[in-house]
């Protein structure tokens, strides 16, 4: 009976299930780390600004890996990439365990760098899996399922972390490590596809890649800035927001849902966008959404209530969740026009997230030090609103690429 059932199931979805079964437990562990680490580091380092600076080394390492990916990892199989990601996650948890005994920078900074590297490997492995395994007409559905599963893990992780924290820091890290071991068990048990890559990645130099990025930036900068704004909001929630969650949890049980409330809308926005079927005006719509998001965050000061903060977070996250796919759709339009040199644009697009997570923790830490943790969200809201308003006035109707110059690249 089981053989007949498996024979009827699309092979692609069997491979998707195997891939996501492994990653779910590792993403859940990473979500626990993401909630635990900023508050832990602020506690042991004694300053939100220092915490932000140390955490930014994570994304700095990820940015370097983005630049060197094609040179260092060309030809690496999907299975090996997933193995690198899991090994990095385990190494990060081990270093954190040492840091609970000796919270020295000589331990914390390498831990942050390992965190940034293994998270990039997760991103690379997801892209490689979809490109090498999934046929074109199913890629959007598979990306949607992967995004939903990841969002579910990052919605559950903060709740689990807040509950485990009552038993001590080492218990939080220990449970996360157990989840990683579950991922390792599934990695050894389940089969991951080992097909050859369908995209040829040519060798590049750091200098030439930065030169290509400069040319593309001059023509794409409005959408790149918008990506960084969205990333800054996300980075603030996953740094200062974890500290706010701990503070609000002391005031009310509802306060422990601060980060989970931020993740819930990401499980819903896919259905909204499917009904809207937006084809034109994606840039302007995204900019209006980010502008409104900034004003919503700035409105957090209106009422001093845990429930009001949760409402603001939910609405802010919902607006961000709709803006992100619209921005990605703009990138897709540009990629389609970039031809065979789209790999440079993909690297530039990925770098915006790392830049946001380099700048975001430092900015969030400085704002928290000046205005307080909750005040940092209000100040960030005004910054996001101001930049979005500027973009609305200067963004052209269509972003034009230098096709002649792109065609000359080798």
Alpha-helix runs per DSSP H in 196-305: 206-237, 240-251, 258-263, 269-276, 282-298
Which of 252, 224, 260 lies closest to 356, judged by CA?
224
For residue 331, pLDDT over 80 is answered with no
Q: What is the mean pLDDT of the chain?
A: 80
**Mean pLDDT, rounded, for 303-324:** 89
**Mean pLDDT, rounded, for 56-84:** 73
Tell me the CATH number of domain 11-191, given options 1.20.1250.20, 1.20.1530.20, 2.40.110.10, 3.40.50.300: 1.20.1250.20
* 204-410 carries CATH number 1.20.1250.20: yes
Fill in the DSSP letter of residue 370.
H
pLDDT tens, position by position, 27-68: 999 999 988 998 899 899 988 888 888 988 888 887 777 666
Most confident stretch, 130-134, 168-172, 398-402 = 168-172
pLDDT tier at 352, thresholds 50, 70, 90: confident
Which of 363, 229, 361, 371 lies closest to 300, judged by CA?
371
Lowest-pLDDT choice from 112-121, 155-164, 255-264, 322-331: 322-331
What pLDDT sits at residue 138?
62
| Residue partners of 11: CB distance under 8 A and separation at least 6 | none
pLDDT tier at 341, thresholds 50, 70, 90: low
**Mean pLDDT, rounded, for 314-320:** 90
Query: What is the C-alpha separation between 40 and 248, in angstroms, rounded?
Result: 16
- Contact by Cβ (8 Å): 257, 306: no
pLDDT tier at 147, thresholds 50, 70, 90: confident
Question: In the chain, what percentage of residues exceed pLDDT 90?
Answer: 27
In the chain, CATH 1.20.1250.20 covers 11-191, 204-410
pLDDT tier at 193, thresholds 50, 70, 90: low
User: What Å distances lie between residue 334 and 154, 263, 329, 349, 398, CA to CA?
Assistant: 30, 28, 9, 11, 10
Query: What is the C-alpha separation between 157 and 154, in angstroms, rounded?
Result: 5
What pLDDT sits at residue 345?
66
Written as one string, the DSSP assignment of 49-102 is HHHHHHHHHHHHHHHHHHHHHHHHSTT--HHHHHHHHHHHHHHHHHHHHHHHH-
pLDDT tens, position by position, 243-290: 898 889 888 888 888 988 988 887 776 556 555 555 556 788 888 999
């Amino acid at each position: 009976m089981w053989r007949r059932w498996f024979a009827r199931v699309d092979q692609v979805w069997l491979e998707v299930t195997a891939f996501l079964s492994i990653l779910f437990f590792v993403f859940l562990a990473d979500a626990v780390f993401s909630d635990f680490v900023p508050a832990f580091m602020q506690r042991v380092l004694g300053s939100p600004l220092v915490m932000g600076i140390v955490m930014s080394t994570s994304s700095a390492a990820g940015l370097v890996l983005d630049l060197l990916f094609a040179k260092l990892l060309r030809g690496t199989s999907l299975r090996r990439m997933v193995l690198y990601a899991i090994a990095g996650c385990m190494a990060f948890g081990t270093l954190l365990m040492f840091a609970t005994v000796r919270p020295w920078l000589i331990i914390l900074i390498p831990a942050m760098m390992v965190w940034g590297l293994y998270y990039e490997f997760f991103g690379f492995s997801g892209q490689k899996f979809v490109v090498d395994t999934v046929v074109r007409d199913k890629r959007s559905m598979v990306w949607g399922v992967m995004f939903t599963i990841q969002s579910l893990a990052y919605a559950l992780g903060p709740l689990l972390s807040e509950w485990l924290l009552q038993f001590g820091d080492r218990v939080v890290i220990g449970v996360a490590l157990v989840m990683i071991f579950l991922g390792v068990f599934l990695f050894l048990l389940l089969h991951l596809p080992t097909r050859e890559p369908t995209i040829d990645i040519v060798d590049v130099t750091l200098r030439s890649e930065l030169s290509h990025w400069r040319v593309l930036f001059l023509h794409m900068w409005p959408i790149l800035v918008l990506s960084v704004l969205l990333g800054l909001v996300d980075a603030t929630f996953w740094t200062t927001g974890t500290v706010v969650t701990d503070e609000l949890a002391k005031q009310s049980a509802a306060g422990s849902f601060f980060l989970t409330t931020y993740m819930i809308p990401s499980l819903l926005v896919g259905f909204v966008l499917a009904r809207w079927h937006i084809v034109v005006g994606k840039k302007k719509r995204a900019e209006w959404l980010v502008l409104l998001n900034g004003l919503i965050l700035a409105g957090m000061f209106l009422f001093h209530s845990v429930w009001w903060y949760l409402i603001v977070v939910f609405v802010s996250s919902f607006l961000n969740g709709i803006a992100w796919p619209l921005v990605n759709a703009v990138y897709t339009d540009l990629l389609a026009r970039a031809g065979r040199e789209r790999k440079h644009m993909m690297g530039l697009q990925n770098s915006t997230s790392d830049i946001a997570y380099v700048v975001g923790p430092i900015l969030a830490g400085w704002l928290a030090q000046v205005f307080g943790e909750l005040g940092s969200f209000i100040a960030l809201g005004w910054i996001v609103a101001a930049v979005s308003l500027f973009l609305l006035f200067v963004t052209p109707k269509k972003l034009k690429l230098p096709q002649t110059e792109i065609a000359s690249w080798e």
